[in-house]
Amino acid sequence: MIMTLIKKKTQGLRHSIADHLPLVFIFIPAFSLLLLSSCLSSSAKAEEYYSLGMAYFELKKYPQAENWFNKSKYHSITKTASEYNLGRIAYETGRYREARRYFERIIGRDRENVTALKAAAYTCIKLEEFDKAEDYYRRILGLVPESYDEGYNYALVLMALGRAGDAESVLIAHTDILNPDNNTENAKALLLLARAQKEQGKPEAADTYNACLQKEDNPVVRAEYAAYLAENGHTDKALKEYRLALENSKLTEAKKKEIQEAITALETDGEGDSKVQQDAK
C-alpha cells in the first residue's frame, strides 16, 4: 500500500512538472523575441530621431535639431554622432564651453577620434585656451601627419603661445609650404612662416614674404612686407613695396591712408638723413 501511495505521488509529481515544462520552454523564446523586438524598435527610433535632428540642423533650425539629438544620444548606435552634432550646434550658437564639453566627452570614449579632436581644438582656439588647443593639434598630427589644415592651425596656436620657432618647424613639416607647384593653397602658410621667421629675427623672412606675394598678390601683405623692410633699414625697397600696394584697387580707404602716412614718414626720415650727411661733409 505504501509503495502504491509513493507511486501515485511520483506520478502526480511528474504530471505536475510536465504541466509546467511547456510553459517554461514556451515562455523563454517568447521573452527573447519580445526583447529583440524591443531592441530593434529602440534602434529604429534612435535612427529616426537622429535623422530628424540632421534635417533640422541642415535647415539651421537649431532648437528643433537639438531636441531630436537629445533623444537620439541615449542609444549606443547614435550616441557619438548625436553628441558631436550637439557640440556643433553649441558652437554655432556661441556656447563654446558647452561645445568643448561635448567634443571632449567623445574623446574620453575614443582618444583617436580625429573628427572630435579637430572640433575640440578649434573650439579651444575660440576660447583662447591655446595650451589645450596645442595638445589636441599635437595628437591630431600624430594620427594624420599629412593634414595641411591642422598643421597650419597648429602653427597659429604656437604663434599665439609665443613659440615662433616651433611654429616654423610645424609649417615646414606638416603643410605643403615647400611645394613649388602649389600656387595659392600655401600662400597663407608662407605668410605665417614669414611672420614666425620675423619674430625670430631671421633675415630669410624677407624672402618668405616675397615668395608669399609671388603666390598671391595681396596688398595688405605687401604693406606688411614693406613695413618689415623699413624696420630693417631697407628704406628704398620699403618705399617701392608701399607704392606697389597703393596701386592695388582692393585696398580700403583706411588702409590707403595708413600706407600713405608710412610713405610720408619714410620720405621725411630719408630727407632728414640726407641733410645730416650733407652737414657732416
Q: Which of 35-49, 98-112, 191-205, 234-248 has the lowest mean pLDDT?
A: 35-49
Query: For 24, how many CA atoms within 13 A lie in the half-sphere containing its CB?
Result: 6
- Residue closest to 44 by CA, chosen among 81, 78, 69: 78
**pTM (two decimals):** 0.75
Residue 13 reports pLDDT greater than 80: no
Inter-axis angle of helices 205-215 and 219-231, nearest 10: 160
For residues 83 and 105, the answer to whether their CB atoms sit within 8 Å is yes
Residue 148 reports pLDDT greater than 90: no
Q: How confident is the model at residue 182 (pLDDT cuts 50, 70, 90)?
A: low
Sequence-separated (6 or more) residues with CB below 8 Å from residue 50? 68, 69, 72, 78, 81, 82
Q: What is the pLDDT of residue 183?
A: 53
Query: For 15, how many CA atoms within 13 A lie in the half-sphere containing its CB?
Result: 6
User: Phi and psi at residue 234, in whole multiples of 5°?
Assistant: -100, 70
Residue 88 reports pLDDT greater than 70: yes
What is the average per-residue pLDDT within 179-204? 84
How far apart are the two ends of the chain, measured CA to CA in Å?
Answer: 149
Q: Which of 68-77, 129-138, 142-151 has the lowest mean pLDDT?
A: 142-151
What is the average per-residue pLDDT within 269-277? 49
**Inter-CA distances, 140 with 99, 121, 154, Å:** 18, 9, 10
**Spatial distance between the Cα atoms of 178 and 189, rounded to a whole number of angstroms:** 10
Q: How confident is the model at residue 180 (pLDDT cuts 50, 70, 90)?
A: low
- Residue closest to 218 by CA, chosen among 262, 188, 192, 181: 188
